[in-house]
Each structure stands twice: as structure tokens, then as C-alpha cells.
Amino acid sequence: MGNSSSAEPAPVTLDMIKGIQLKPIGHSVDGGTVIASSLWAEQPAIVFVVRRPGCVLCREEAKDLCERAAEFKALGVSLTGVVHEELGADVFAKEFFGDGLLYFDEKKAFFESLGSRWLGLKGLMYPSVIKNAQRAKGKGVEGNWEGEGRLLGGLLVVGKGDEGVLFEHREKAFGDHASMDDILAACRKAVGKAPVENSSAPPEETKA
């Protein structure tokens, strides 16, 4: 089935993800598929790796990202997402990720880059997950139980062209969302707007 969520996979690199073939969901492109590198060829990109389209927690994170879409756009950063199954993906794209572009990663290659980490149904009983579900429902987000939800997702911020992966978040438990502050900081760094505390200091190491 793959690695458990406790495994410590290697950092995501551009070579791991740039050649992944993706099928657009809810929009079309010439040729029917795109290569992942095209998502950040012209501008930096957020890539939301969605665990399950019907999941209330994944839908919550999608809505949270879309609520900040204007900020991402103002910075010149595109908002994209990938799913590993098509079940429920159209609804997810239209109702929860309308400000982003969604793609089908049939070979689960983005998930593999994150370590192919799985969490069994016992994860539903984690106190943090119960709290996460209550948070999402408190926002009025609804979900369903359709599809495979054990393969953990995450989120990447990828720099323009060959600049590489500037930020990665690996979901450790259901509803473990990336920090919006960290996402925005990575986006600002990607477009050269990150604050510089000491111009004489050596450049910071890329956060993995």
C-alpha cells in the first residue's frame, strides 16, 4: 500500500514532479493532458495535493485557499490542485475550488513525491482529527464518504520555471492543513517580495 504516515520521506524536488502527466478537470487544454512543469512555467504555483475530493476537510482547505485567491493573484502566483481519483472531482472543482485549476494525477505521482503515505481509518479517532472535523463543520462545509481517503496529501509552492520547490507541507493526519502564513511567505519569496532581515547575511536555505 505504501509507506505509513510515520515514515520520513526525502524532500520533494523539481525532478520528482516536473514530468508528471495531468488531466484537467472542469476545464480543457489542447491535447487533453498537460505536463506538470507547465503549471509553473510562466509564474510560481501553489499545488494543493488533495487527499479525497469528497472529504469535508479537503473541501475546507480548498475553500480557505480560494478565499485568499486574490492575494495569490496579486502576487502573481497561480492556484492549482491535483487529485488521485476522478470520483467527486467535478463537484470539488466547481463548488469548492472555483478559483483554482484542478487536475487528475492518475498515476498518483504527486502523492508519490510526498512519500506515498497512508493513514488507516483509525486516524478518524485522533483527537486532532475530531477537532479538525468540528472546525470544518462549524464553517458549514459538508462532505461525503465516497472514494479513497487514506492516501495523505499536502501542499507545495513551486517557483517559476526551474527555481524549484520553495515550500512543502505533508499532511500528517486528516485535516492537517498547511499554514496560510507559511504559504503566503513562500509565495512572496517566489516573486522576490520576501522581507530581508539582514542583507549581509548568507541566503536562507530553501525550506523543504
List, by residue number, the catalytic residues. 55, 58
Residue 23's CB: how many other CB atoms inside 10 A?
17
Q: Give the three-class secondary structure for 81.
A: strand
Q: Do 146 and 87 form a contact (C-beta atoms < 8 A)?
A: yes
Residue 44, Cα to own-chain centre: how many angstroms? 14
For residues 117 and 111, give the distance between their C-alpha atoms in angstroms, rounded to a whole number.
8
120, three cell numbers:
488507516
Strands 45-50 and 154-158: antiparallel
For residues 177 and 170, give the distance between their C-alpha atoms in angstroms, rounded to a whole number.
9
Inter-CA distances, 89 with 3, 50, 62, 121, 130, Å: 25, 10, 12, 22, 24
| HSE, side-chain direction, 13 A CA sphere, residue 7 | 14
